[in-house]
Amino acid sequence: MSEDYAPMWKSLGMDLNAHDALLGVLEQGYRDIYLAQKNRPEGMGYFDFVMSEVHGLRIKELLDEKKQNRKIIGSYCVFVPEEIVLAGGATLVGLCSGADFAVEEVEKYLPRNTCSLIKSSFGFKLGRVCPYLESADMIVGENTCDGKKKAYETFAGMVDNLYVMDLPQVKSSQGRALLKEEFERFKTAVEELTGNKITVEALKEGVKVVNAKRAALHRLAILRKADPAPISGLDALLANQVFFYDNPARFTESVNKICDELEVRIKENQGAFPLKTPRILISGCPMAVPNWKLPWIIETSGAVIVGEESCVGERGSRNLTDDSGQSMDELMEAITDRYFKVDCAIFTPNRDRSDHIVEMAKAYGANGVIHYGLQFCQPYIMESIPVENTLEDLGMPCMRIETDYGMEDVGQLKTRVEAFIEQISD
C-alpha cells in the first residue's frame, strides 16, 4: 500500500521513511493484538479495512473532499463540536496522538514529565508522520488540562493554522456562558474558513448526522451488557477510536451492522469470550489509536472489557444533542447543553464523573474497574484516588494503573492485571 500512496504522502510534505517505519509498527501491532483475537464479529472486517487504510484511502478521501473545496478541521478533543463543523460544510477528524514518535525531538520542546498523549501529538508533527494533521486546513486546540494549554502555546509555532478554543473549568452558569460564547466564536471561525454561512437547516442536519453516529455507539454499548460479551473490549474500543476518523454516515452504518450481528449472537448465546468471563470496566484517560496496550493486557489475561469510561468511549459519546430547536440560537443552546455535560477531569468539582463510573460499572455488570491514568496526567490521576474510594465503599474492586505508551512495563502490568482478575473472579 505504501507504493500507491507515496506520492500523496509526499505531496503532504511527510517524511516517507519515518512514516513507512510507523506503518510497519502499526500493522504488526494490529496483527498481533487485533487479528489474533478469536470469535470476532464478522462486521469487524470493516474496521480491519479502515485500519489497513487509515493513512491511505481515508486520506485520499479527505484530499478529494478538499479538491471539492471542502475544508478539513483537525481536533484533539471531544469538546470540539462536530455539529458546527459539518454545518459549515467541513469535515472533522481526530489527530494522531496515540503512539510515541520522535521522542528525542519532542523533548526539545516539552518537559520529559509531560504525558504521552501530548508528547505524541508533538511527535507526529515534528516527525511529519500524521497525514490528518498535514491535510487539515485548521487545527483546533483547546484549553483543557494545563499540559495541553501550555503545549498549544509552543505548538502554535509549529503550524500556521492553530485555533485555540477556551473551555470552562467549573459547571456554573458563568462556565456555561463561556462555553456558549466559545462555540459561537468557533462557529464564526468555521464560517470564515469555509466561506459558508451556517444556516439553521445545515446545523439541524449536522446535529442529526452526529447524533446518529453517537446513537450507533450507544446501541453497541448496550449490547455489551450481555453475558457472554458479544464483542471484545478491544474491538469495541476500535469502533470508538474510528469514530474520530471515519466518514460519519459510513461509520454509523457500519456500527449498526455490527450491532445487528451482535443481536443475533446474543440470541444464540454466542460471545467473543465464554460465559462468566470476568468483566472489567476501564475508566480514565483517553486511548487514541494505536494505544491498545492495557486493553490487550486485560483481554489476554482472562477478562473481558465491557465499557470504557473515557473520551474515546462513553464520556465522549454520551448524550445526544437536542435537535428540536427551530432557530439558530435554540440549536446553539442545545449544542452547548450537550457538551457542557461532558465530565472531563479538568472540571472542578467533578462529581458527575464519579457517579457515571458507578452507574456504568453497575449497568455493564462489571466485576471490577481498572482506572487508567497516563503518567503525568494530573487531572485523571488526582481523580483516581477518590474514584477508587467511592467504588470500594460500594464493594466494587478497583485497581489504579499509571502507565505511558512505552512497552517496558508490560510484564509488571500483566502481573498486576492478572492478580486483579484473580481477585475479582475468585
Partner 1 sequence: MIYAGIDIGSRSIELVLVENEKVIETRQTDTGFDPISQAKKVMKGVNFDQIMATGYGRNLFEVAYDNASTVTEIKAHAAGVRLEFPEALAILDIGGQDSKSIRLNDQGRVVKFEMNDRCAAGTGKFLEIMAHNLGFSLDEFGPAALAVQKDLQINSMCTVFAESEVTSLIAKGQDRQEIARGLHLSVVKRAVGMLNRVGAQGPIVFSGGVAQNPCMVQMMADALGKEVLVPDNPQMMGALGAAMIMAKKE
Give the interface with partner 1 as residue ranges (CB under 8 A). 392, 397, 402-403, 408-409, 411-412, 414-416, 418-419, 422-423, 426
Q: C-alpha angle with apex 222: 219 to 224, nearest 5 degrees?
A: 115
Whole-angstrom CA distances from 186 to 139, 313, 332 are 12, 24, 11
DSSP 165: E
Closer CB to partner 1, 95 or 366, in the complex: 366
* Set of cell numbers at residue 179: 462555553
Percentages of the chain per state (helix, strand, coil), in multiples of 5? 55, 10, 35
Identity (one letter) of the amino acid at 46?
Answer: Y
Cβ atoms of residues 321 and 335 within 8 Å = yes
Query: From the CB of 114, what's the least distance to partner 1, in Å?
Result: 18
Closest CA to 87 of 179, 189, 162: 189
Closer CB to partner 1, 357 or 396, in the complex: 396
Cβ atoms of residues 283 and 396 within 8 Å = no
Closer CB to partner 1, 20 or 409, in the complex: 409
Query: From the CB of 227, what's the least distance to partner 1, in Å?
Result: 22
Closer CB to partner 1, 317 or 403, in the complex: 403
Closer CB to partner 1, 327 or 415, in the complex: 415
Query: From the CB of 144, what's the least distance to partner 1, in Å?
Result: 26
Closer CB to partner 1, 342 or 421, in the complex: 421
* Set of cell numbers at residue 324: 428540536
Query: From the CB of 381, what's the least distance to partner 1, in Å?
Result: 13
Cβ atoms of residues 285 and 279 within 8 Å = no
Query: From the CB of 393, what's the least distance to partner 1, in Å?
Result: 12
Query: From the CB of 411, what's the least distance to partner 1, in Å?
Result: 6
Query: From the CB of 413, what's the least distance to partner 1, in Å?
Result: 8
User: For residues 233 and 213, what is the distance between their CA atoms, to the nearest angstrom?
Assistant: 19
Helix (H, G, I), strand (E, B) or coil at 313: coil
Cβ atoms of residues 367 and 279 within 8 Å = yes
Whole-angstrom CA distances from 283 to 4, 48, 221, 293 are 39, 25, 15, 14
Query: From the CB of 246, what's the least distance to partner 1, in Å?
Result: 36
Cβ atoms of residues 276 and 309 within 8 Å = no
Closest CA to 144 of 379, 335, 384: 379
Closer CB to partner 1, 201 or 408, in the complex: 408
Closer CB to partner 1, 90 or 424, in the complex: 424
